[in-house]
Amino acid sequence: MIITGAAFVLGDNIDTDQIIPAQYLNLVPTIAAEYRELGRHALAGLPNACRAFMQPGAYQTDYPILIAGRNFGCGSSREHAPVALGAAGVKVVVAASFARIFFRNCIATGELYPVECRARLCETVKTGDTVMLDLAAQTLRHEARGAVFALAPLGAAQDVIDAGGIFAYARARGMLHVN
Amino acid sequence: MGLTLTEKIFARHAQRSHVAPGDNVWVSVDVLMTHDVCGPGTIGVFEREFGKDAMVFARDKVVLIPDHYIFTTDTMCHRNVDLLRAFAQQQQLPFFYDPQTTAYKGVCHVALAQEGHCRPGEILLGTDSHTCTAGAFGEFATGIGNTDAGFVLGTGTLLLKVPASMRFVLDGALPPYLMAKDVILRIIGLIGVDGATYRAMEFCGSCVEAMTMEDRMTICNMAIEAGGKNGIIAADATTRTYVTARTSVPFVEERSDADAQYFSEHSIDVTALEPAVAQPHSPDKYATARAVAGTKIDQAYIGSCTGGKLSDFVAAAQILAGRTVRVPTYLVPATVEVKDALATTRHAGQPLTRIFEEAGCLPLAPPSCAACLGGPSDTFGRVTGNEIVISTTNRNFPGRMGSTSAGIYLASPYTVAASAIQGAITDPREYLA
């Protein structure tokens, strides 16, 4: 799979309160209109100087790719976090490392690919730069510099996200005999 | 080769004789807990995937504890509690602690323990990252998302990776000016907010053995603040006394083998520690209260799953008795049981409620998560500007208590109470003879 687009760049320890602040947790992700609304508030908890991820009133971001440092998604177990990013149109987060529950929620929901990269991309890629990810080749190409970085393999998790989440994956393989 | 406490619980719940860190195993789940923030989405996943008429895997293993957004005029929040209520009725769930009735409890992690849902040797999963609190009871407890929780609701099982264990040996008698909060803030400061990612944090040693269940809950509660999958403390006589007073459900205690393999070992002499804070904006920004003493604060907050238990208020009262606070001081008992006990528990002959009133604290809020995580705009104690707050809560990332320009210092109830009196961060030893 190839994912190309503009990157939005963040630092270390972006926690779930910054990804989706608690006042929006009254929205229920499985209700379609509220799923869409969650997208509108994606990354609304970033300190003021870092905002601009979402245009005012927009439901879709101009940045389908997030680049971050260590421990992305730390904090709460709220599934609203990967859901808000996915609903806003984020396809992939490339980070130096992920917090465990956020990583698992990305896979379970199939909302986006949480991909690790040992290179500290958040210090070389700038917000707005175009990057191209090739998940099969496990590479990220930073177009402005022509640089190519190796990504850590997602392994079996990629198949689950490709399928659209853990239920869709299990059902497609006959592992779940309901519905 | 021996197994750790966490590995033994995984092995038994996977019906295996042995598991190793990194193994992915299907485990049976003893308790699934959800609340008003993640419950409606969990139910939504369950009904979407298993059908509207599907029944949960076991009625008495599902616990619904609304606690986050209860005392608000936000109609969406009320709608979410209504969704829980309808589900509890449809499924005939015995454990729904309804805010509209006297069954209401308050903060889920404390209520789980008080209502006998925390039992040694079990696996407890919850849609809240602080579910790891229950590891204090010698069980495996961790936070999961709605989709995983929806899967558990339907099947009673989940695929989990066996975590490697980090062993923290806490030795020595805790000095009278320190609390469990100071110990865990020191540990997080040492290993960092991702220092235990994917791993179990097992706590043992003479200090832990001497701790009450509430102290042990404070320690395990904040395992997630180091990225841990779970915190865990082996059950002992203290655990047994607490648990058997609150449930008749039988349980199996496990202990780590003497030859268990650990990812790492850390020894801490608690007698050498000092009253601590975590500075804005991260739980691992450790400093001694002494080092940042004099930092002006705008408000003080005592509450939450980690800092709103009875012992937390007893500690605060020790310092506040006969003194007056200089900044707005918000008190939120974690549960109804804690709130009721504040009126009947005495310090120096006075009920705690009287001590807090005479010290000038704001009237007690009804039990809930309140401003620990910000929440709706009318949440008690929520910050809206660039306030500096000192709080007994567990997390201080930007915006955590409602405003991204506010700064939150995390500290023990002793340190928070002492700081409230001076209007500035204060080492509580100034007030503890």
pLDDT at A175 over 90: no
pLDDT single digits (tens) B365-399: 999 999 999 999 999 999 999 999 999 999 999 99
Q: How far is A143 from chain B (nearest CA, A)?
A: 31
Give the Cα separation of A10 and B21 in Å (integer): 32
Q: How many CB pairs under 8 A join A and B?
A: 146
pLDDT single digits (tens) A77-122: 999 999 999 999 999 999 999 999 999 999 999 999 999 999 999 9
CA B277 to chain CA centroid, nearest Å:
17
B399 interaction partners in chain A (CB closer than 8 Å): 17-18, 21, 45, 47
B193 interaction partners in chain A (CB closer than 8 Å): 13, 71, 74
Mean pLDDT for all residues in chain B: 98
Give the Cα separation of B269 and B266 in Å (integer): 10
pLDDT single digits (tens) B86-138: 999 999 999 999 999 999 999 999 999 999 999 999 999 999 999 999 999 99
Identify the CA nearest to A82 among candidates A114, A53, A54, A127: A114
pLDDT single digits (tens) B236-264: 999 999 999 999 999 999 999 999 999 99
For B303, the token pair is 């509450």
Percent of chain A with pLDDT over 70: 97
Give the CATH number for residue A36.
Answer: 3.20.19.10
B156 interaction partners in chain A (CB closer than 8 Å): none
Give the Cα separation of B149 and B34 in Å (integer): 8
pLDDT at B83 over 50: yes
Give the Cα separation of B28 and A68 in Å (integer): 35
Q: How many domains does chain A have?
A: 1
Chain B contacts in chain A segment 142-171 (CB below 8 A): 165-167
Provide the pLDDT for residue A50: 59
Answer whether A30 sits within 8 Å of B193, measured CB to CB: no
| A141 falls within a domain | yes
| Edge-first strand listing for the sheet containing A139-142 | A113-116, A92-95, A65-68, A2-9, A130-134, A139-142, A147-150
Residue of B nearest to A109 (CA): B147
Q: How far is A150 from chain B (nearest CA, A)?
A: 22
Answer whether A99 sits within 8 Å of B127, measured CB to CB: no
As a whole number, mean pLDDT of residues B183-211 equals 98
B282 interaction partners in chain A (CB closer than 8 Å): 13
Give DSSP secondary structure letters for B327-373.
Answer: S-EEEE-SBHHHHHHHHH-EETTEEHHHHHHHHTPPPPPPSS-GGGG
Answer whether B398 sits within 8 Å of A18, measured CB to CB: yes
pLDDT single digits (tens) B317-373: 999 999 999 999 999 999 999 999 999 999 999 999 999 999 999 999 999 999 999
pLDDT band at B433 (very low <50, low <70, confident <90, very high): confident
Going from the N-terminus, what domains does chain B have, and what CATH number goes with each? 5-268 (3.30.499.10), 277-430 (3.30.499.10)
Give the Cα separation of B378 and B75 in Å (integer): 12
A100 interaction partners in chain B (CB closer than 8 Å): 197-198, 227, 229
Give the Cα separation of B103 and B81 in Å (integer): 14
Q: How far is A73 from chain B (nearest CA, A)?
A: 10
Instruction: Using CB atoms, pick whichever of A46, A79, A99 lies closest to residue B146.
Output: A79
Give the Cα separation of B359 and B225 in Å (integer): 32
Q: Could you report the predicted ipTM of this complex, rounded to two decimals? A: 0.97
Cβ–Cβ under 8 Å, residues B210 and B218 = no
Identify the CA nearest to B145 among candidates B10, B38, B234: B38
Answer whether B68 sits within 8 Å of A25, measured CB to CB: yes
B395 interaction partners in chain A (CB closer than 8 Å): 15, 17, 75
Q: Return the number of other C-beta atoms located less than 10 Å from residue B22's C-beta.
A: 10
Put simply, whether the predicted model's pTM sits higher than 0.80 gets the answer: yes
A166 interaction partners in chain B (CB closer than 8 Å): 147-148, 151
Total residues found in chain B within this entry = 433
Cβ–Cβ under 8 Å, residues B271 and B152 = no
B76 interaction partners in chain A (CB closer than 8 Å): 26-27
Q: Strands (DSSP E) along B144-235, which ranges?
A: 157-161, 165-171, 200-204, 230-232
Residue A69, domain extent: 2-172
| A177 falls within a domain | no
B147 interaction partners in chain A (CB closer than 8 Å): 79, 105, 108-109, 165-167
Answer whether A99 sits within 8 Å of B404, measured CB to CB: no
Q: What's phi and psi for B170, nearest 5 deg?
A: -105, 110
Instruction: With H, G, I as helix, E, B as strand and everything else as coil, classify residue B104.
Output: coil
Answer whether A71 sits within 8 Å of B197, measured CB to CB: yes
Give the Cα separation of B414 and B410 in Å (integer): 12
Provide the pLDDT for residue A51: 61
CA torsion B91-B92-B96-B102 (nearest 10°) is 150
Give the Cα separation of A33 and B58 in Å (integer): 31
Q: How far is B345 from chain A (nearest CA, A)?
A: 33
Give the Cα separation of A13 and B268 in Å (integer): 26
A51-58: Cβ within 8 A, 24+ apart: A53/A8, A53/A88, A54/A88
Give the Cα separation of B109 and B114 in Å (integer): 9
Q: How far is A139 from chain B (nearest CA, A)?
A: 25
Cβ–Cβ under 8 Å, residues B49 and A178 = yes
B374 interaction partners in chain A (CB closer than 8 Å): 17, 21-23
Three-class SS of chain A: CEEEEEEEECCCCCEHHHHCCHHHCCCCCCCHHHHHHHHHCCCCCCCHHHCCCCCCCCCCCCCCEEEECCCECECCCCCHHHHHHHHCCCCEEEECCECHHHHHHHHHHCCCEEEECCCCHHHCCCCCCEEEEECCCCEEEECCCCEEEECCCCCHHHHHHHHCCHHHHHHHCCCCCCC
Provide the pLDDT for residue A176: 78
pLDDT single digits (tens) B24-47: 999 999 999 999 999 999 999 999
Instruction: Using CB atoms, pick whichever of B76, B147, B229 lies closest to residue A79.
Output: B147
Give the Cα separation of B363 and B380 in Å (integer): 11
B74 interaction partners in chain A (CB closer than 8 Å): 26
Answer whether B68 sits within 8 Å of A80, measured CB to CB: no
C-alpha distances in angstroms, B3 versus A119, B18, B133, B140, B255? 36, 8, 22, 14, 9
Answer whether A28 sits within 8 Å of B40, measured CB to CB: yes
A75 at B interface, C-beta within 8 A: yes
pLDDT single digits (tens) A131-151: 999 999 999 999 999 999 999
Answer whether A30 sits within 8 Å of B377, measured CB to CB: no
Cβ–Cβ under 8 Å, residues B62 and B95 = yes
Answer whether A28 sits within 8 Å of B41, measured CB to CB: yes
Instruction: With H, G, I as helix, E, B as strand and everything else as coil, classify residue B408.
Output: strand
Computed from CA positions of residues B118, B140, B157, B43, in that sequence, does the dihedral angle turn out positive or negative? positive
Answer whether A26 sits within 8 Å of B80, measured CB to CB: yes
| A179 falls within a domain | no
Contacts of B89 by beta carbon, 8 Å cutoff, 6+ apart: none
pLDDT band at A174 (very low <50, low <70, confident <90, very high): confident
For B7, the token pair is 């590995």
Answer whether A79 sits within 8 Å of B395, measured CB to CB: no
| A160 falls within a domain | yes
A111 interaction partners in chain B (CB closer than 8 Å): none
Give DSSP secondary structure letters for B40-98.
Answer: HHHHHHHHHHH-TT---S-GGGEEE---SS-SS--HHHHHHHHHHHHHHHHHT-S-B--
CA B229 to chain CA centroid, nearest Å:
14
Provide the pLDDT for residue A179: 44
Provide the pLDDT for residue B243: 98
CA B423 to chain CA centroid, nearest Å:
27
pLDDT at A178 over 60: no
Answer whether A25 sits within 8 Å of B69, measured CB to CB: yes
Answer whether A71 sits within 8 Å of B376, measured CB to CB: no
Contacts of B348 by beta carbon, 8 Å cutoff, 6+ apart: B321
Cβ–Cβ under 8 Å, residues B222 and B393 = no
For B266, the token pair is 């850390």
